[in-house]
Structure 1
Amino acid sequence: MHSTHPIEALKHQLGLLGATAGKGFIRLSTPCQVDSLVGWLNVQSMLPRLYWQSRDVGAVEYAALGAVKAFDSLAALQADLAALAEIGVEQPDYFGGSAFDPTTPGWEHFPACYFLLPRFELKRHQGKATLSLNLRFDDRCPEAEIAQARACLAALEKEQPLPRLLPQVYQREDRPSPNEWAGWVAKATTPSHLAHTPKVVLSRETCLTTAEPPSPWALLARWQRGAAECFHFGIQLTPRAAFIGCPPERLYQREGRRLITEALAGTTHRVRDTQQDQALAAELLADKKNSLENQCVYQQLLAQLEPLSQHAQMGEAHIVKLRSVQHIRRLIHATLHRHVTDQQLLSVLPPTPAVGGVPRASALAFIRQHERHQRGWYAGVFGRISHASSELAVAIRCAHIGSEAIRLYAGAGIVAGSQPEEEWRELDTKMADIMSLLGMG
């Protein structure tokens, strides 16, 4: 941020608010100039820090800092949404995510579910940036809330250039090993197992140990430059632990009662030659094994949406081309019944068969029995929720960055016809972009 004028403007607005503060939620906003929202987040000392941008062209870019209020359950978040809607004031945006499997041990410093109403929102849309200060007066003393907001304003730092990503030496360890992976795939593709679990998504954790991991925000900034067709997110709850990612898969987008979700499953690599790349895409669409993977996803999504919606329509299969891979995708449009909430959607839809399997219970049982690494928020959900609209991504193509290591994650859908070596190579392909940025490509 180029000057302190936006901060002074917010201080002035806060001073005018004083004892006239109303009930519920209040957002004070002022225009500002910023080069990099991620760079602004990186220099702040306040926590938590969060970044979010949808994959749509021209999507709003959000940087969230601090927390007016945080929620460790979907029920608590939905209760807050309902309380503010009843008051009838301006409605805020909440940001956050949840783990793949909340019933199992997760990552240190990452709750099974965490959503926040940020103290500050730095938002950019169509080249114009706005800095907002959020306040709540429905459940706290107005004088104390204003005093805390003043202290937070005083703690804001000016934007600084992001640090350079310097070459590092990494020690790599894959969990599982290739031999263990082959054993898992063999078990998952036996006729007796396929009879009750036609698809299970198995994952690999690639742990890169190093003396000095890079800045998560500098790494995210570099990563998102080559991930135009993807969501971009980052969250840092403590100084030494962060979770970042550029996932291609949308869990759902909701505008009022209109909902869009998708079946994104079935993968092949990309090549430089345009004709060969198109041939690979055509082979992917025609491939029985990959078509079965995608079918498992869309059939379950349609079944889950049936009791929640008036009708759901599925589009034709098409190819989505990313930097290193291409996927089969089918879009699903639905009109939700009145009063269906995000809590209900998030209680039903994740984990989708694209990251868990079919049927869900037996696929998760297989994953819990065999995977020794903790998935944590990998393959969970991440995004933005509000009363009027919400959008959440499936948290794949991601990195968990700690004080001594970077942990990367990728998964592969195991169905009839899956071969261990091919699926292992698919994991490498899905990690190729971030591995290249780390000098491990």
Structure 2
Amino acid sequence: MLAQTHLLEQLDALTAAEQQGFVRLRAAMDVTSLIGWLKEQPLFPRIYWHARERDREFAALGAIRELTDPTQLASLTGQLRPTAGSYPRYYGGLAFDYQPPVTGEWQEFGQCRFVLPRIELIRQGNQTELVCNLWFDGNNHAHELTSAREALQQLQPETTLTHYLPAQRERHDTPDKPRWMQWLSQVLQPDALKIIPKVVLSRRTTLQFSETLNPWDLLANWQSATPACFHIGYQFSPESCFIASSPERLYRRHDRQLFSEALAGSTPRTGDAEQDAELASLLLQDGKNRLENRFVHTDILTRLDGLADTAVVSEAQILPLKHIQHIKREIEATLLPETADWQLLQKVHPTPAVGGSPRRKALSQIRELEQHQRGWYAGACGFISEDVSEFTVAIRSGLWHQNQLHLYTGAGILTGSDAEAEWQELDTKLNSMLGVWND
């Protein structure tokens, strides 16, 4: 790869120079698929991020710094602009729920894990660059150069992605439908709704396949099928990979400007334009779905109090996806000068769109009822830098672990919910992920 050679030459030019702090080396690169490139690399972690607007795409490899405690995120705020000319970008995520210990198949992800990668492949607009990151600290000059050279020398050309996906052999839902109906009979009791007016309950669907499934092939298929979504992937080891095709932004921050949204309330799409327009109109008029969305945008605005100078919310609109459509309200705020990403994540995540309202009581009920760990499902996944940060809510997601695939879906339960209809909503959301096997 020509870009790889150019970066190695830049590294050689650094050997006699005195460097300090963060340094970023760049070289233009031609690549067809960032996922296809990432799939072929031998380095871990392997991280992928593609914005919903499709104008920002990143693939990251290796780690030169790593944060595994949410309190460490405060250290990423207030950095001076480095001599590299651009701030370091930390990629990672936070679990849905900080309280219970993360164990089992989610253990390597933890409650928090962010990495500053050694290698980045960055596509913004029509420009793609291969980037090598270094951090010179004290007497580590020779070691950093050696480590960076070894990483660059291991890079492989992109591979062809597989559009064929193996057949499903087995499926198991947790909870199953009888347990789901039991849950809803409990949480929809009038006395229960007075205490917790909204709770979001989730289902884990575990799939076994006739052949080995590669998670990066699956993510590429999701990306083709759902272009109006965020697409993300996190693989910290060969054994596990978390992927998502999420329609929901948690927030995007550019300097002091914050963009968030309330995405809650849904109805299916049929593929017939006239019928879908009618369903969308009914969705916007439906009291239960409008209430569900109101819980979310009201909560976000309340939590921004003390963090933002001004905040406004748009009128309700429809976000159409391939198999489903949602009510969306956009939120724009101007942050106070001292507000940092760690404060935004602490205050805003998780929103009532994936947890419930009031937050503490809803989370307590989720811990009591759900037998599966959510891990990073419905967590906050994205990247942090001094000038720009962006996070998606990791719904419509799956954990590939030791050749099993766990897919996660959720539904908001509140006044007006019907147990059978909510079960069908879970299936509609699941079909948006399973549909790649049928298209």
- Taking structure 2 as the reference length, the TM-score comes to 0.96
Verify: 1:359 aligned to 2:358, yes or no.
yes
Q: Counterpart of 2:168 in 1: which secondary structure?
A: coil
Name whichever of 258-267 and 15-24 sits farther off: 15-24
Q: Distance in 1 between matches of 2:358 and 2:306?
A: 18
| Equivalent AA in structure 1 for residue 31 of structure 2 | V
| Equivalent AA in structure 2 for residue 405 of structure 1 | Q
- Tell whether the 8 Å contact from 2:21 to 2:82 is kept in structure 1 after alignment: no
Alignment partner for residue 53 of structure 1, among 34, 39, 50?
Answer: 50
| Equivalent AA in structure 2 for residue 92 of structure 1 | P
Alignment partner for residue 98 of structure 1, among 84, 94, 97?
Answer: 94
| Equivalent AA in structure 1 for residue 133 of structure 2 | N
Q: Distance in 2 between matches of 1:80 and 1:105?
A: 24
- Structure 2 unaligned residues grouped into runs of 5+: none
Q: Distance in 2 between matches of 1:133 and 1:383?
A: 20
Q: Distance in 2 between matches of 1:293 and 1:408?
A: 23
| Equivalent AA in structure 1 for residue 19 of structure 2 | G
Name whichever of 208-217 and 418-427 sits farther off: 208-217
Verify: 1:170 aligned to 2:166, yes or no.
no
Shift of 1:272: 2.2
Q: 1:372-391, aligned counterparts within 5 Å? A: 372-391=371-390
Q: In the alignment, what sits opposite 2:409?
A: 410
Q: In the alignment, what sits opposite 2:74?
A: 78
- Structure 1 unaligned residues grouped into runs of 5+: none
Alignment partner for residue 32 of structure 1, among 29, 32, 56?
Answer: 29
Verify: 1:14 aligned to 2:11, yes or no.
yes
| Equivalent AA in structure 2 for residue 120 of structure 1 | I
- Tell whether the 8 Å contact from 2:43 to 2:62 is kept in structure 1 after alignment: yes
- Tell whether the 8 Å contact from 1:253 to 1:390 is kept in structure 2 after alignment: yes
Name whichever of 176-185 and 71-80 sits farther off: 71-80
Q: Distance in 2 between matches of 1:85 and 1:348?
A: 27
Q: In the alignment, what sits opposite 1:180?
A: 179
Pair 1:124–1:411, CA change in 2 (3 A): same
Q: In the alignment, what sits opposite 1:64?
A: 60
Shift of 1:42: 0.5
Shift of 1:159: 1.5
Name whichever of 125-134 and 369-378 sits farther off: 125-134
Q: Distance in 2 between matches of 1:337 and 1:190?
A: 42
Q: In the alignment, what sits opposite 2:271?
A: 272
Q: Percent identity?
A: 43
Shift of 1:8: 1.1
- Tell whether the 8 Å contact from 2:166 to 2:209 is kept in structure 1 after alignment: no
Shift of 1:140: 5.7
Q: Distance in 1 between matches of 2:274 and 2:161?
A: 39
Q: Counterpart of 2:406 in 1: which secondary structure?
A: strand
- Tell whether the 8 Å contact from 1:261 to 1:332 is kept in structure 2 after alignment: yes
Q: Counterpart of 1:382 in 2: which secondary structure?
A: strand
1:288-324 Cα deviation digits (max 9, x unpaired): 1111101111111111011111111111011110111
Shift of 1:90: 3.5
Q: 1:200-349, aligned counterparts within 5 Å? A: 200-210=199-209, 212-349=211-348
Q: Distance in 1 between matches of 2:279 and 2:174?
A: 29
| Equivalent AA in structure 2 for residue 340 of structure 1 | T
Q: Distance in 2 between matches of 1:214 and 1:76?
A: 35
How many residue pairs were aligned?
436
Shift of 1:155: 1.2
Verify: 1:23 aligned to 2:4, yes or no.
no
Q: Counterpart of 1:225 in 2: which secondary structure?
A: helix
Shift of 1:186: 1.2
- Tell whether the 8 Å contact from 2:94 to 2:381 is kept in structure 1 after alignment: yes
1:327-371 Cα deviation digits (max 9, x unpaired): 011111111111100000001111100000000011001100000
Q: Counterpart of 1:82 in 2: which secondary structure?
A: coil
Pair 1:21–1:438, CA change in 2 (3 A): farther
| Equivalent AA in structure 2 for residue 10 of structure 1 | L
Q: Counterpart of 2:15 in 1: which secondary structure?
A: helix
- Tell whether the 8 Å contact from 1:47 to 1:236 is kept in structure 2 after alignment: yes
1:267-294 Cα deviation digits (max 9, x unpaired): 1001122121111111111111111101
Q: Counterpart of 1:92 in 2: which secondary structure?
A: coil
Q: Distance in 2 between matches of 1:244 and 1:251?
A: 17
Q: Distance in 2 between matches of 1:83 and 1:336?
A: 18
| Equivalent AA in structure 1 for residue 78 of structure 2 | A
- Tell whether the 8 Å contact from 2:166 to 2:212 is kept in structure 1 after alignment: no
| Equivalent AA in structure 2 for residue 99 of structure 1 | A
Q: Counterpart of 1:170 in 2: which secondary structure?
A: strand
Name whichever of 407-416 and 109-118 sits farther off: 109-118
- Tell whether the 8 Å contact from 1:67 to 1:119 is kept in structure 2 after alignment: yes
1:77-129 Cα deviation digits (max 9, x unpaired): 33144355598963111111111012123313211101111101101122321
| Equivalent AA in structure 1 for residue 69 of structure 2 | S
- Taking structure 1 as the reference length, the TM-score comes to 0.96
Name whichever of 125-134 and 216-225 sits farther off: 125-134
- Tell whether the 8 Å contact from 1:25 to 1:89 is kept in structure 2 after alignment: no
- Tell whether the 8 Å contact from 1:25 to 1:90 is kept in structure 2 after alignment: no
Q: Distance in 2 between matches of 1:222 and 1:243?
A: 15
- Tell whether the 8 Å contact from 1:105 to 1:374 is kept in structure 2 after alignment: no
- Tell whether the 8 Å contact from 1:268 to 1:327 is kept in structure 2 after alignment: yes
Q: Counterpart of 2:264 in 1: which secondary structure?
A: strand
Name whichever of 203-212 and 171-180 sits farther off: 203-212
Q: Distance in 1 between matches of 2:2 and 2:164?
A: 31
| Equivalent AA in structure 1 for residue 68 of structure 2 | D
1:184-211 Cα deviation digits (max 9, x unpaired): 1111111111111100000000011236
Q: In the alignment, what sits opposite 1:158?
A: 157
Q: Counterpart of 1:292 in 2: which secondary structure?
A: helix
- Tell whether the 8 Å contact from 2:295 to 2:357 is kept in structure 1 after alignment: yes
Pair 1:339–1:348, CA change in 2 (3 A): same
- Tell whether the 8 Å contact from 1:270 to 1:324 is kept in structure 2 after alignment: yes
Q: Counterpart of 2:246 in 1: which secondary structure?
A: coil
Q: How big is the alpha-carbon RMSD for the aligned residues of Structure 1 and Structure 2?
A: 1.6
Verify: 1:5 aligned to 2:10, yes or no.
no
Q: Counterpart of 1:202 in 2: which secondary structure?
A: strand
Q: Distance in 2 between matches of 1:105 and 1:139?
A: 36
